[in-house]
Amino acid sequence: GAGVSQTPSNKVTEKGKYVELRCDPISGHTALYWYRQSLGQGPEFLIYFQGTGAADDSGLPNDRFFAVRPEGSVSTLKIQRTERGDSAVYLCASTNQGDTEAFFGQGTRLTVV
Amino acid sequence: AQKITQTQPGMFVQEKEAVTLDCTYDTSDQSYGLFWYKQPSSGEMIFLIYQGSYDEQNATEGRYSLNFQKARKSANLVISASQLGDSAMYFCAMREEFQGAQKLVFGQGTRLTINP
């Protein structure tokens, strides 16, 4: 596609439920990043993929959060046993080698009620 | 650890005026990159401008320029001739390089409102 695509754009879930957030990066981009943006804050790094492997997952807040990128393109961020504090906008970005900037999607707004 | 500080939660400017958004940073790295992103209400982060730590000239991109003062560790964004469409959140960010990753560390942002 022309840009980074994230689905769904909005997700409302009940506390304790499991959710999956999808990111479709720019075609051919090898690096993919997930960020979380809480209300009134700047985005915070969660995890980075180079190809299929998670090269840096140091930003994942706890073991309820997990992400995969099985074929080196689409990535899914998975959150188990959601909590109200997980409510935020989850942003995905992709880059290719040599790119100066990261290209972001429009985000998924997750609301846990 | 790297840190970005944006001290202006909100700015209000008249259309066609210039505006400066402040950003200071903290890092012990010699090589780093500084970015400004715009986030309209639609939510996506739009890249505006980049400054490398070794670049001697201040970066410019159309109406955007970055006032880079390395000794003061500041990287202020200047928008000339502001337009109504410039109303948005603006984030300053620093690139942190680690094992091939180019993670971005963001400030808390400044909400810019352009008044007609």
**Residue A41 structure tokens:** 């804050």
CB A51 within 8 A of CB A72: yes
pLDDT over 70 for what percent of chain B? Answer: 97
pLDDT in tens, A10-66: 999 999 999 999 999 999 999 999 999 999 999 999 999 998 988 889 999 999 999
pLDDT band per the 50, 70, 90 thresholds, residue B10 = very high
Chain A residues near residue B33 by CB distance under 8 angstroms: 100
Q: By C-alpha distance, which of A78, A92, A88 is closest to A33?
A: A92
Give the type of residue at A46.
L
- Identify the closest residue of chain B to A43 by CA–CA distance: B106
Question: Which of B91, B104, B105, B108 best tests the A interface by mutation, with the highest count of A CBs <10 A?
Answer: B104
Q: Give DSSP secondary structure letters for A38-79.
A: -TTS--EEEEEEETTEEEE-TT--STTEEEE-TTSS-EEEEE
Q: By C-alpha distance, which of B11, B13, B29 is closest to B21?
A: B11
